[in-house]
Amino acid sequence: RLKSLNRLQIILQHLKMSKQTDSAAEVLLEKKGGAGIITLNRPKALNALNLSMIQQIYPQIKTWEQDPETFLIIIKGAGGKAFCAGGDIRAITEAGKVGDKLLQDFFRGEYRLNNAIGTCKKPYVALIDGITMGGGVGVSVHGHFRVATEKTLFAMPETAIGLFPDVGGGYFLPRLSGKIGYFLGLTGFRLKGRDVLKAGIATHFVESEKLPALEKDLIALKSPSKEKIADLLNSYHMKCTVDQEKEFVLDEHMEKINSLFSANSMEEIVKKLKQDGSPFAMKQLEAINKMSPTSLKLTLRQLREGASMSLQDVLRMEYRLSQACMKGHDFYEGVRAVLIDKDQSPKWKPAALEEVSDEFVDNCFKPLGNDDLKL
């Protein structure tokens, strides 16, 4: 009797442990009904993506895509504060300082994952509740459905840390209406709640507290088609009245955004903003003046070229840019100023737009031969 009790205790202990190790996992991958569910599970780090998470999610999406018993894929973030606040920039910075291979592996892995989502044959539903920036945008925006809530906070703030709006930003940003994408990518402007839908980044808007019910209903769908999923999302979306009356935050500025951000060079955009002189233009000028001049020039060209490229070609281009940024000065300086010392006063090199030569920019876009990204 004692023996079997002992054995039971051991089994219970083991179960408890396996449960603990599971919830300590940085990403949870489960199958419920016909749905594959990805939960980004680093709430303390606002679910920022690191390489090991990327390396777990990618093969799982590929497996589910082939599995006849999986009808849809849902991705969400744990902790209630963020869906995913970006890539694990600190780890990349540390690797960069010592010339670690992580610099290639991380961007390669992340962009391959973005492409897997963009080409996924199964309906892909991202529940972008809370902070959704950078890498978090990359694992949501390329999927079929993006459900925003009143807690969603969207931004592509990369130019502030000497990077550029990557993860396929060169594909989706220039495809937003007018020049909104150029404006968002260059200034890092933040969109909140229903505005994320109105800008065309989210496809649906549902109250945050309704998400568990929505998820349950998605899982309960019998062999769901994309249409059935869309119908279910639409029904939740139609019932949601939060901020329904509110005007789109950029509505009154759209004409300005479209004319100011259609200039062919960064210098010209700055000149136009100065000439405009309105409070809105001055505010954007102030934001742009804080950004890395190199990043701004790379970003403008990235978006202009990406506008007519396939997602795959955009990701290849962005991989080249990522490697150029890793070899430069501004990324490390930007991370230092914004994330590490938090003094918010980066010393960019070069410090002025005029000093970033076209030749330098051209070089950043050059193919890397055997080192190019393979998709």
Summarize pLDDT for 218-232 with one digit per residue, the tens.
Answer: 999 988 999 999 999
Residue 3 lies in a domain: no
Residue 16 lies in a domain: no
User: Active-site residue 166, yes or no?
Assistant: yes
Residue 10 scores a pLDDT above 90: no
| Domain coverage including residue 30 | 25-371
286-314 residue pLDDT tens: 999 999 999 999 999 999 999 999 999 99
The secondary structure element, H or E, covering residue 287 is helix 279-290
Residue 12 lies in a domain: no
Q: How many CB atoms lie within 10 A of CB 14?
A: 10
26, 88, 166, 215: the catalytic one is 166
34, 135, 168, 181: the catalytic one is 135
CATH of residue 212: 3.90.226.10
The pair of structure tokens assigned to 367 is: 């193919």
For every residue of 24-69, DSSP letters joined together read TSSEEEEEETTEEEEEE--GGGTT-B-HHHHHHHHHHHHHHHH-TT
Residue 161 scores a pLDDT above 70: yes
Closest CA to 281 of 272, 290, 289: 272
229-281 residue pLDDT tens: 999 999 999 999 999 999 999 999 999 999 999 999 999 999 999 999 999 99
User: Active-site residue 135, yes or no?
Assistant: yes
26, 110, 158, 195: the catalytic one is 158
Residue 200 lies in a domain: yes
Task: Tell me the torsion sign for CA atoms 180, 183, 186, 191.
Answer: negative
34, 36, 77, 87: the catalytic one is 87
pLDDT band at 21, cuts 50/70/90?
Answer: very low
User: Active-site residue 158, yes or no?
Assistant: yes
Residue 111 lies in a domain: yes
User: Active-site residue 87, yes or no?
Assistant: yes
The pair of structure tokens assigned to 187 is: 């200034």
Tell which phi-psi region holds residue 127, choosing left (phi > 0), alpha (psi between -120 and 50) or beta.
Answer: beta
Residue 5 lies in a domain: no
Number of domains in the chain: 1
- Separation CA 286–CA 284 (nearest Å): 5
* pTM assigned to the model: 0.93
